[in-house]
Amino acid sequence: MAEEGKFKVTIDGITVDVSPGTTILNAARQIGGDIVPPAMCYYSKLEGSGGKCRTCLVKVSKGSEKDPRPMPKLVASCRTTVMDGMEVQNITSPDVVEARKGVVEMLLINHPLDCPVCDQAGECKLQDLGYEHGADQTRYEFDRRTFERIDIGEQIQLHMNRCILCYRCVYVANQLTAGREHGVINRGDHSEISTFIENALENDFIGNVIDVCPVGALTDRTFRFKNRVWFTKPVDAHRDCPTCSGKVTLWYKGDEVLRVTARKDEFNEVEEFICNSCRFEKKKTADWLLEEPTLIEKDSVITANHYSVFTPPPVIKQNPKLQEANEEQLARTERLK
Amino acid sequence: MLSVQENMIVTFTPALFDKFAEVVSRYPEGKQKSALLPILHLVQAEYGWLSVDAMDKVADYLALKPIEVYEVASFYTMYFLQPKGKFVLEVCRTGPCCLVGAERIMQHMEKRLGVPEGQVTADGLFSWRGVECLAACGFGPVLQIGPSYTFHENLTEERVDQLIDELKEKAKNQ
Amino acid sequence: MARKLLLTHIDVPGIDTLEVYRRQGGYRAVEKALKTMSPDDVVEEVKKSGLRGRGGAGFPTGMKWSFLAKPDGVPRYLVCNGDESEPGTFKDRFLMTKIPHALIEGMIVSSYALGANTAYIYIRGEMMPQIRIVERAIAEAKSAGFLGKNILGSGYDLEVYVQPGGGAYICGEETALLESLEGKRGNPRIKPPFPAVAGLYGCPTVVNNVESIAATVPIVNDGGEEYAKIGIERSTGTKLISASGNLVRPGVYEIELGLPVEEFIYSDEYCGGIANGKRLKAMVAGGSSVPILPNNLATKTAKGEARLMTYESLADGGFVTGTAMGSGGFIAFDEDQCIVRNTLNFTRFYHHESCGQCSPCREGTGWMEKVLHKIEYGHGDIADIDLLWDIQRKIDGNTICPLGDASAWPVASAIRHFRDEFEWHILNPRESQTRNFGLAHYADPLVPVV
């Protein structure tokens, strides 16, 4: 029996007690680890999100204690609430693994795979998804769908080719701003995120669309091509902001703050949404009170280059040109000594 | 993509506003957004297509954000976001009609009107396109002609010619 | 002669007017229901009738009605689904054109049963003539006191409005229809909650097909048991079948469920056989979404029994050797038709109509169309057949709404039953451009797909 007032749910053989109304996905997140289904469109902080990308499909092998019949189809775990005694299979179900592989393939057939020049690379959920669940090659042999790149305002660039139509940015505009100015126009695989007419997105909180975008479709123009994210160093900081909580992550390269984002949790969701002023305008260390280096998952590419001393190979010591080229790293090595 | 190439400034007449008000009265208080599709039909019947200005004014009337109107207008195939011919000829191009010769009718129409699908004839009178199932499969091939949506069944090439001639005549007399 | 319940008076001149409709016994059901029955009595009769949703899913209507939540102080809605767009289906257009008062009468009876005081008839926008016809019928009914306040002195109020669609097949899916009725894009909702709990404006709502609603009229008039006497097993009553394709007499027929498919195709009472003296190559029984069956499985089940026009018999053999009743869109293909080309056409349809909300359908339908296009135009590869099979499998069952499944089934069944034709197309790229596979005895130069 589950705890008083709780539902017992078993996911891939691991049992957890959760409050009624919890979705399968959130129950899995309470367990954590590999059994958490990937979610490209669901965002716990955006009401109504989810159900669309179909990457979080799971198999309900037992509906509940009362009605143990399995569900006939795979269900979107982000939008299916648990019942007491429910049993769910995620990675232990070959059907789920197969279906998910199919979804990843679908999401990638029209994706440009321009990761080498994409600012999202390194923190892109589609990259992770493809790596973890995708096939090793594509079977798609036709031209990919393309759109023009558009700037929606001074600070945000929309690269529709990369979009997977998760609708998160639409929910952000609906729920965080007073009036939504962009949306999904057209239909089917012609659907696109757009303002339809030339229109700048100007709202104190609209910058959050960048943080919620799982791919590189909405990127920060103030960070555009400045650096690869794995060469930058995240540090948690805060300021006394009149508009938002002012709790952010600063992404440093050397002494320079290259970009500011909201702080994200282990499921890549922001902890608190931040305002445009914090995000786009406060790019000096002096604007902030630094807290500590951001905790990064140990297998993230972000950890690859930081917090370790650069040991210059002997050839650099002998060559002034190379010394000049590596000036920054060498200076940092000195600092960290 | 920002594909708006043309705009048309419109001023809705009081008669049109009366029609809007009647439509809005069909829904509960505060649910006036429901009136969006019927109102867009009314506007298109009046002006032939939906310009950005017309959509903005509809948004204003229904207290919606303009993007909500663009989203809807671009989702449904009946709304024209570019100017079309005075008469829009729509041939069903879906399976059952193709079994009985819809493809031939479309080829004939292209030849007869001299413009490819979706484009407007030089005199501004006609545009044509293939549309999906019009729910008259047993009477195919079928054609509907906007803006009044008259419906024509069991089409032949001769009948298409005849209809086009009739429309030309009608336009002349207007 | 088979019994008719919906189309009995279809040939009476002026039956589309209230006056003539009443002279033929119209609006008796309204009087009977409002004056002598409680709403629950009506629901009970519909349950007894065994009526199953005529829009495609075949879910028992009475049961659907009994799921309707009835919280205090919250309005309930009846929404009629007149978004008929399934290729091969044209019965609702026919019914609304010829005998619109049958729908209005059904709307009144059904709304009364459900306790709805406002009802909407959502008709696809392309059916402008039908919208005008139904609106006129509503006005007539209203001026005769069948709609409005205190109908026939019963104390029951009802307003019925017509809502035009904007051109989207997906709005035939009930939650997409509700979204559209709320003035939004026709994106199907994620269920649960079902409309019976949270439908139109978040209120409890029942969405029923035009034909289902019209069928409640004879059920109220004659009683559910009487209705259930027609048909076989769980397929009760009569059904409108839209017959199209290569038939001598295509059109809308009202059949008693249980009619053998063979009789429907060949008897003079119905379609009168295959046009131009040709032979039947394949048939689709329930609109383009349901699996296509080759001649040998069309009229007989795999067990060799006669296939009947019932939900059960059509589905006999599952999707391996059976199909589904669907919406009753019966399409006949003669021996000269190309299955590859038809599959391409249907797939293009689903690609065009996908709302684009969920990834397998948005991306998969277009992909299937491209692969089929390649095969049809002589650039196919044998491996493409397996690829197609795999794509449809990845869509089927994995989408938000049934459009994904509907796009997958025609492809799956075409490959299952006509794989040799696909192979022939691929192995004979040139010949397949000039003649069709099978028994084709004349060369029909193909025209480019539009």
Domains of chain A: 7-101 (3.10.20.740), 110-220 (3.30.70.20), 229-304 (no CATH), 307-337 (no CATH)
Mean of pLDDT values over C46-66: 94
pLDDT at C436: 81
Mutation target vs C (from A187, A191, A194; most C CBs, 10 A cutoff): A187
Sort out which chain C residues have CB atoms less than 8 A from A142's CB and list them. Answer: 367, 370
Are B76 and C163 in contact (CB < 8 Å)?
no
Are A148 and B52 in contact (CB < 8 Å)?
no
Alpha carbons C395 and C404: distance in angstroms, whole number: 6
Instruction: Tell me how close the Cα of C105 comes to any Cα of chain B, in angstroms.
Output: 20
pLDDT of B2 above 60: no
Alpha carbons C374 and C385: distance in angstroms, whole number: 11
pLDDT at A196: 86
Give residue C278's Cα distance to chain centre: 27
Instruction: Tell me how close the Cα of A193 comes to any Cα of chain B, in angstroms.
Output: 9
Q: Rounded to the nearest 5°, which phi and psi values hold at A49?
A: -75, 165
- Distant-in-sequence, close-in-space partners of B116: CB < 8 Å, separation ≥ 6: B110
Amino acid in the structure at residue C260: P
Q: Minimum mean pLDDT among A228-232, A330-334, C314-318, C428-432: which range?
A: A330-334
pLDDT of C349 above 70: yes
Please, what is the Cα angle at A50 between A49 and A52, to 5 degrees? 120
Q: How many CA atoms lie within 13 A of A324 on its CB side?
A: 3
- Distant-in-sequence, close-in-space partners of B73: CB < 8 Å, separation ≥ 6: B40, B50, B55, B79, B81
Mean of pLDDT values over A165-181: 92
Mean of pLDDT values over A32-39: 91
Instruction: Tell me how close the Cα of C224 comes to any Cα of chain B, in angstroms.
Output: 30
pLDDT at A197: 82
Classify B161 in phi/psi space as left (phi over 0), alpha (psi -120 to 50) or beta: alpha
Instruction: Tell me how close the Cα of B32 comes to any Cα of chain C, in angstroms.
Output: 8
Instruction: Tell me how close the Cα of A162 comes to any Cα of chain C, in angstroms.
Output: 14
Q: Is B74 on the interface with A (CB under 8 A)?
A: yes
Closest chain B residue to the Cα of A195, Cα to Cα: B67
Q: What pLDDT, in 10s, does the model give residues A55-65?
A: 999 999 999 99
Are B136 and C90 in contact (CB < 8 Å)?
yes
Alpha carbons A322 and A313: distance in angstroms, whole number: 10
Tokens of C297: 């499985």
Average pLDDT in chain B? 93
Average pLDDT in chain C? 93
Output the CATH code of domain C240-334.
Answer: 3.10.20.600
Q: What pLDDT, in 10s, does the model give residues C370-421?
A: 999 999 999 999 999 999 999 999 999 999 999 999 999 999 999 999 998 9
Alpha carbons A261 and A67: distance in angstroms, whole number: 46
pLDDT of A136 above 90: no
Closest chain B residue to the Cα of C356, Cα to Cα: B75
Are B65 and A180 in contact (CB < 8 Å)?
yes
pLDDT at A310: 65
CA–CA distances in Å: residue B89 to residues A34, B136, B160: 56, 16, 10
pLDDT at A148: 86
Amino acid in the structure at residue B112: R
Sort out which chain A residues have CB atoms less than 8 A from B71's CB and list them. Answer: 183-185, 196
DSSP string for C305-344: PBPBSSHHHHTTTHHHH----TT-EEEEEETT--HHHHHH
Q: What pLDDT, in 10s, does the model give residues C200-258?
A: 999 999 999 999 999 999 999 999 999 999 999 899 999 999 999 999 999 999 999 99
Q: What pLDDT, in 10s, does the model give residues A75-134?
A: 999 999 999 999 999 999 999 999 999 999 999 999 998 999 999 999 999 999 998 888
Are C85 and B37 in contact (CB < 8 Å)?
no
Closest chain B residue to the Cα of A189, Cα to Cα: B75
Closest chain A residue to the Cα of C369, Cα to Cα: A142
Residues of chain B with CATH 1.10.10.1590: 14-75
* Residue appearing with tokens 């060559």: A319
Preceding peptide of B141 cis, ω within 30°: yes
Tokens of A249: 């992550």
Chains contacting chain A through 3 or more C-beta pairs under 8 A: B, C
Tokens of C2: 């088979």
Are B132 and C353 in contact (CB < 8 Å)?
yes
Alpha carbons C118 and A1: distance in angstroms, whole number: 46
Classify A65 in phi/psi space as left (phi over 0), alpha (psi -120 to 50) or beta: alpha
A189 closest CB neighbour out of C190, C363, C397: C363
Going by pLDDT thresholds of 50, 70 and 90, the confidence category of residue A53 is very high
Q: What pLDDT, in 10s, does the model give residues C72-107?
A: 999 999 999 999 999 999 999 999 999 999 999 999
Give C313: exposed, middle or buried? Use CB within 10 Å, 0-12, 13-18, 19+. Answer: buried
Q: Is B71 on the interface with A (CB under 8 A)?
A: yes
Preceding peptide of B96 cis, ω within 30°: no
A67 SS3 class: coil
Instruction: Tell me how close the Cα of B124 comes to any Cα of chain A, in angstroms.
Output: 26
Torsion of CA C318, C321, C325, C326, to 10 degrees: 80
Q: A189, C360 in Cβ contact below 8 A?
A: no
Are C365 and A105 in contact (CB < 8 Å)?
no
pLDDT at A2: 66
Are C288 and B151 in contact (CB < 8 Å)?
no
Mutation target vs C (from A55, A133, A139; most C CBs, 10 A cutoff): A139
Q: Is B46 on the interface with A (CB under 8 A)?
A: no
Are A183 and B68 in contact (CB < 8 Å)?
yes
Going by pLDDT thresholds of 50, 70 and 90, the confidence category of residue C427 is very high
Going by pLDDT thresholds of 50, 70 and 90, the confidence category of residue A336 is low
Pairing status of strand A289-293 against strand B87-92: unpaired
Instruction: Tell me how close the Cα of C400 comes to any Cα of chain A, in angstroms.
Output: 7
Sort out which chain B residues have CB atoms less than 8 A from C201's CB and list them. Answer: 28, 31
Q: What pLDDT, in 10s, does the model give residues B73-132?
A: 999 999 999 999 999 999 999 999 999 999 999 999 999 999 999 999 999 999 999 999
Going by pLDDT thresholds of 50, 70 and 90, the confidence category of residue A258 is very high
Which one, of C388, C382, C380, C432, lies nearest residue C410 by Cα?
C388
Residues of chain B with CATH 3.40.30.10: 87-173
Sort out which chain C residues have CB atoms less than 8 A from B72's CB and list them. Answer: 166, 183-185
CA–CA distances in Å: residue A264 to residues A41, A211, C29: 16, 9, 63
Q: What pLDDT, in 10s, does the model give residues C160-202?
A: 999 999 999 999 999 999 999 999 999 999 998 999 999 999 9
Are C242 and B137 in contact (CB < 8 Å)?
yes
* A·C CB contacts under 8 A: 85
Mean of pLDDT values over A248-269: 92
**Comparison of pLDDT for C442 and A314, the residue scoring more:** A314
Q: Is C379 on the interface with A (CB under 8 A)?
A: no
Instruction: Tell me how close the Cα of A72 comes to any Cα of chain C, in angstroms.
Output: 9
Mean of pLDDT values over B136-144: 93
Mean of pLDDT values over B15-41: 97
pLDDT at A322: 84
Are C400 and A52 in contact (CB < 8 Å)?
yes
B96 closest CB neighbour out of C120, C164, C331: C331
Going by pLDDT thresholds of 50, 70 and 90, the confidence category of residue A308 is low
Q: Which CATH architecture best describes the domain C339-434?
A: Up-down Bundle (1.20)
Domain B87-173: give its CATH superfamily: Glutaredoxin (3.40.30.10)
DSSP 8-state secondary structure symbol assigned to residue A46: S
C352 closest CB neighbour out of B38, B132, B148: B132
A181 closest CB neighbour out of B52, B67, B76: B67
Q: Minimum mean pLDDT among A294-298, A319-323, C191-195, C270-274: which range?
A: A294-298
Mean of pLDDT values over C47-74: 94
B130 closest CB neighbour out of C87, C331, C450: C450
Please, what is the Cα angle at A158 between A156 and A162, to 5 degrees? 135
The CATH fold assigned to C18-229 is: Rossmann fold (3.40.50)
C251 SS3 class: strand
Q: A278, A248 in Cβ contact below 8 A?
A: yes
Instruction: Tell me how close the Cα of A41 comes to any Cα of chain C, in angstroms.
Output: 10
Torsion of CA B51, B57, B63, B65, to 10 degrees: 40
DSSP 8-state secondary structure symbol assigned to residue A281: I
Closest chain C residue to the Cα of A167, Cα to Cα: C357
Closest chain A residue to the Cα of B6, Cα to Cα: A197
pLDDT of A323 above 90: no
Sort out which chain A residues have CB atoms less than 8 A from B2's CB and list them. Answer: 148, 150, 194-198
Q: Is B67 on the interface with A (CB under 8 A)?
A: yes
Instruction: Tell me how close the Cα of C116 comes to any Cα of chain A, in angstroms.
Output: 28
Are C356 and A139 in contact (CB < 8 Å)?
no
Mean of pLDDT values over A223-232: 90
The structural domains of chain C, with segments of one domain joined by +, span 18-229, 240-334, 339-434
B78 closest CB neighbour out of C125, C353, C450: C125
Pairing status of strand B143-146 against strand A150-151: unpaired
Are B72 and C166 in contact (CB < 8 Å)?
yes
* B·C CB contacts under 8 A: 155
Average pLDDT in chain A? 90
Sort out which chain C residues have CB atoms less than 8 A from B105's CB and list them. Answer: none
Output the CATH code of domain B14-75.
Answer: 1.10.10.1590
Mean of pLDDT values over A142-160: 89
Are A53 and C358 in contact (CB < 8 Å)?
yes
pLDDT of C445 above 50: no
Are B65 and A179 in contact (CB < 8 Å)?
yes
Which one, of C244, A140, A207, C214, lies nearest residue B96 by Cα?
C244
Are A181 and B1 in contact (CB < 8 Å)?
no
Are C354 and A139 in contact (CB < 8 Å)?
no
